[in-house]
Amino acid sequence: MLVSHSPKFQPWWLIIPAAGFGQRMGAARPKQYLALDSRCVLEVTLSRFIGLPGLQGAVLALAPDDALAPALLANFKDFPLHYAVGGATRSASVRAALHFVQQQCVDKHTMVLVHDAARPCARRLDIEALLSCAFASKDGALLATPVRDTLKQADTDQQVLTTVSRAGVYHALTPQAFACDLLAHALDFAEQAGCVLTDDSSAIELLGKAPQLVVGHADNIKITHPDDLPLARLILQAQGHWHSAQVPLLG
Ligand code: C5P
């Protein structure tokens, strides 16, 4: 007899901030539209979530002048995909997408998962582990991975000032999951306080809350620098998610 091990989840929404350009990539187009295999980064990222239990739909926050999204929309025509106009910062983009979700949800505690467009290698099992934890945690949850290298604090000349203990130190990854209205309140609070944040957990922490860390795999990289693109291709190939050999693996 076949036994299904798929977890069951209450309804949740996916938010993908994809309104950044990715200056550090030095590419001619935003990094989420660079070719990974036969698909662009954003398509692969989105595909990691399609079919997960409880997923109600996804909202992509896009740059106001984004002319590439309609082609993407055509590829996902059977999935409830929505768009919001992103803002000048990542937090503003998440807030815009969250506004759309709030308009759809009667229940203000509905869970939202926020995942960077530039992280196409997030593993399905890690996402499911995060969902399980987030639904059981009052302050939400985020994927994270323990720091493995020795940490150095340096001065502006890159001379070592001191060695920083890595005990209990983690890299914050995405997805990160929070109740819809809690995240909205936290992002509004951070904006009013003039705080520039690089993830959503930071906003929740500003409210004095303590999201739960869920240890995920370190191959959930954020494509940031040019070398990250071939690395992401290798990771996808190792994970068995490589779709085409049309793009050279290296170079
Ligand atoms: O800049 P960084 O790579 O850290 O961006 C993380 C994510 O936030 C990316 O998916 C990027 O597209 C998104 N972002 C956004 N709106 C901005 C800046 C970044 O949606 N204004």
What does CATH list as the number for 12-239? 3.90.550.10
Testing ligand 1's pocket by substitution, the residue of 16, 68, 93, 201 carrying the most ligand atoms inside 8 A of its CB is 93
Closest ligand 1 atom to 117 CA: 10
Domain locations in the chain as residue ranges: 12-239
Distance (Å, whole) CA 7 – CA 160: 47
For residue 197, the one-letter residue type is L
Closest ligand 1 atom to 88 CA: 21
Q: Which residues line ligand 1 (CB under 6 A)?
A: 17-20, 22, 32, 61, 86-90, 93, 116-118, 222, 224
pLDDT of residue 67: 83
pLDDT of residue 1: 56
Contacts of 51 (CB under 8 A, 6+ apart): none
Q: For residues 40 and 69, which has the higher predicted lDDT (pLDDT)?
A: 40
Contact 176, 203 (CB under 8 A): no
What confidence tens digit (pLDDT) does each residue in 182-214 have? 999 999 999 999 999 999 999 999 999 999 999
From residue 30, alpha-carbon distances to 25, 119, 155 in Å are 9, 14, 32
pLDDT-based confidence at 245, cuts 50/70/90?
very low
Burial of 67 (0-12, 13-18, 19+ CB in 10 A): exposed
Using the predicted structure, report yes or no on whether residue 2 has a pLDDT greater than 70. no
Using the predicted structure, report yes or no on whether residue 144 has a pLDDT greater than 50. yes
